[in-house]
Amino acid sequence: MESIDKQTILRLANQNAKPCISIYMPTHRKGDEVNEGLDRILFKNQVQKVKNELLRADMRSNEVDELLKPLEGLLNDKEFWKNQTEGLAVFRNPELFEYFQSPIPFNDLCEINSQFRLRPLFAFTQSSSEYYILNITQKGTSLFQADQYFIHPVDTQDLFPASMDEILEPYELESEGQGQPQSKSGRMQGEASVHRGAKEENKYKDHLLADYFREIDKGVKQLLAQSKKPLVLACVEYYHPIYHEVNTYPFLREKGITGSLGTISQNEIHHKANELLGDYFTERQDKRITQYQNSSGSGLISHDLRQILESAVTGRVDTLFVKDDVEVWGLFDENNLTATIHDERKDNDESLIDKAIMLTLRNGGEIYIMNDVNVLPHTSESNIGIAALHRF
């Protein structure tokens, strides 16, 4: 199973073998939904729905069974249903079977068509704002690469020092809590330790931690030498000012994640980092919106679907803004650049909104799926919730 990204979606869009089965559903990491197998039951219902629809379309029973065999196998994999995320997407046609676990939930959807239904995945093609998380605990240091949706551990190639247990052994940090360090009675060694007061002991410990963090900083600089992406520090509050003092990576964020992080999962750390970064994720989108608004009246913007489709074919569309719930059905002839729009969906129709998105992606453009339409003119016959910023 691979991650959901632009290349994956383009590959799925190029599948031509029919029928194409697309299943989306919300799933759960824990709780009653997992304990009672509710996600599995929902998927079973979806598979049965697909089977009934294929049989109604006069597909032979043995052909239906063969086509759905991988879905039945997934249905019977009990361990699979115990290890879900927030959403599941499953795709099947006579030549392909793939599934993807999503960090965001999907609405329940099941469709059989001549192409896979890819609209719920388009959010993952948006220009992502990547960043790094540096997690320091007494047991060791980890580096993660992340964006708004995914997080992956980085191979640190043994560039970070081992655990700091030996440094912190004479001190107590209340299970890596927020308190000030206290020396452990009877465990200090050496004459200097015996005669140090509490204030001197803290200064000595800070000095040791600073030396330890300098070694981590060297590893960070080597791993991220060519990067200009933000780095979020995740560790107990006591470590933050000491690490910031020795840090030489210029893109370390001022605010970091604090708390006892030695026992929480990387997904929980990811969630905390996403909350902390705030507007960082919308910086690129906001820049594109400003470009769109500043180009008003220049001929470089459009909210007419037919014109956008023509421009997308020829690679003119730089950025496409789409309202998340807009839908238009019809047919588009790429060779003759003609679009036929229907008031209601008809047999063999395609989503013209999805078509515009796919053409934009194939030609290197950016897309943004939006909840609101502030960037767009007021709704009219020619504006149904889509807008394009052209390259030329």
Strand segments (E) across 260-316: 301-302
Q: What is the DSSP string of 164-179?
A: SHHHHTTEE-TTT-SS
User: Does 140 or 382 have the greater pLDDT score?
Assistant: 140
* pLDDT above 70 (res 317): yes
Residue 168 has pLDDT above 70, yes or no: no
DSSP string, 61-110: HHHHHHHHHHHHHHHT-HHHHTS--SEEEEEEETTEEEEEEESS----EE
What is the pLDDT confidence band of residue 254, given thresholds at 50, 70 and 90?
A: very high
The pLDDT assigned to 162 comes to: 85
Q: Distance (Å, rounded) from C-alpha 262 to C-alpha 137? A: 6
Write out pLDDT tens, residues 339-373: 999 999 998 899 999 999 999 999 999 999 988 65
Tell me whether strands 140-146 and 151-153 are parallel, antiparallel or unpaired.
antiparallel
At 196 the pLDDT is: 53
| CB-based contact 258:236 (threshold 8 Å) | yes
User: Of residues 284 and 232, which shows the higher confidence score?
Assistant: 232
How far is residue 357's CA from residue 360's CA, in Å, rounded to a whole number?
5
Residue-level pLDDT at 139: 86
The owner of tokens 């959807």 is 109
- pLDDT value, residue 264: 83
Task: Supply the DSSP symbol for 125.
Answer: G
Q: What is the mean pLDDT of residues 287-304?
A: 90
Amino acid (1-letter code) at residue 159: L
At residue 385, the pLDDT reads: 86
Token digits for 347? Answer: 């047999």
Which of the listed ranges 79-93, 154-168, 254-268 does the model predict with the highest average pLDDT? 79-93
The neighbouring-strand residues paired with 65 are none
Taking 50 as the threshold, does the pLDDT of residue 175 lie above it?
no
| 353: nearest Cα among 100, 118, 92, 91 | 118
Least confident window among 3-7, 43-47, 90-94, 164-168: 164-168
Residue 54, by phi and psi: left (phi above 0), alpha (psi -120 to 50) or beta? alpha
Q: How far apart are the first and last CA of the chain?
A: 39
* Whether pLDDT at 316 is above 80: yes
pLDDT digits (tens, 9 = 90+) for 65-121: 999 999 999 999 999 999 999 999 999 999 999 999 998 899 999 999 999 999 999
The structure's pTM equals: 0.79
